[in-house]
Structure 1
Amino acid sequence: MIQLTRLNGDPFNLNAIMIEQIQSLPDTTITLTNGKKLIVKDAEIEVVHKITAYYQEIGIQKAINKAGETGE
């Protein structure tokens, strides 16, 4: 899970694996795999860094990198 901040300042945790897309429109808009959209205060690059750190923490980053190397 990653911690983000809603536009009203309330923090919340989001399962980063559910994220499909992130855009700055200019607010950071996160689209989940179920189609739901969330708008957060966090900058797009901050969200990407949090996702990457989370993936490394749970060990999925190595699997993603390895799959990319083998073309799977």
Structure 2
Amino acid sequence: MISLTKLNGNKFTLNAIYIEEIQSFPDTTITLTNGHKFFVKEPEAEVIKLVTAFYQTINLLGTDKKMEA
């Protein structure tokens, strides 16, 4: 789960597993696999970092080869 901020300032938590697409229009738009869209204040690059960290936390992504050395 990742914590994000809607454009109105309300914080919410999103299950990142259901993210299909992230775009900047310039607002960051997150589209879920069910077609639902969220517009958030965080820049696209920050959302990607949050999603990647979440995936690593649940071991959905392997560990970085550089980190294993």
TM-score scaled to structure 2, two decimals? 0.88
For residue 23 of structure 2, what is the aligned residue in structure 1? 23
Measured in 1, the distance between the counterparts of 2:23 and 2:46 equals 12
Please tell me whether residue 32 in structure 1 is matched to residue 42 in structure 2: no
Measured in 2, the distance between the counterparts of 1:49 and 1:40 equals 15
Measured in 2, the distance between the counterparts of 1:9 and 1:61 equals 31
For structure 1, the 5+ residue unaligned runs are: 66-72
For residue 10 of structure 1, what is the aligned residue in structure 2? 10
For structure 2, the 5+ residue unaligned runs are: 65-69
Structure holding more helix per residue: 1
C-alpha root-mean-square deviation of aligned residues, in Å?
1.1
Superposition deviation, residue 17 in structure 1: 0.3
Identity of aligned residues (%): 60
How many residues align structurally? 63
